[in-house]
Amino acid sequence: MTTVSQMKCACPSCLCIVDLKAAVMANDKPYCSEACAQGHPQGTGCGHSGCGC
C-alpha cells in the first residue's frame, strides 16, 4: 500500500506541489497557501517562486 504524502495544489492555475501535512485545507482539498485556499482575493498569488497563479 502506498500512502500519498504530496499532491498538486487544488488551485487550478497553481503549479505548486504541497506536502499534505503542511497543506492549507479548504473544502477537503489541499492548497499551498491561504491565497489559493481563499480563491485569490484581490488577485493575490501564492508567492512561491516559479508559480504564476
Question: What's at 52, amino acid-wise?
Answer: G
pLDDT value, residue 17: 97
What pTM does this model have?
A: 0.87
3-state secondary structure of 45: coil
pLDDT at 27: 95
Query: What does each C-alpha distance from 25 to 15, 30, 43, 50 come to in angstroms?
Result: 17, 5, 20, 22
CB 27 within 8 A of CB 52: no
Buried b (16+ CB within 10 A) or exposed e, 37-46: beebeeeeeb
Per-residue pLDDT of the chain (53 residues; tens, 9 = 90+): 878 899 999 999 999 999 999 999 999 999 999 999 999 998 999 999 999 89
Domain ranges (residues) in the chain: 6-42
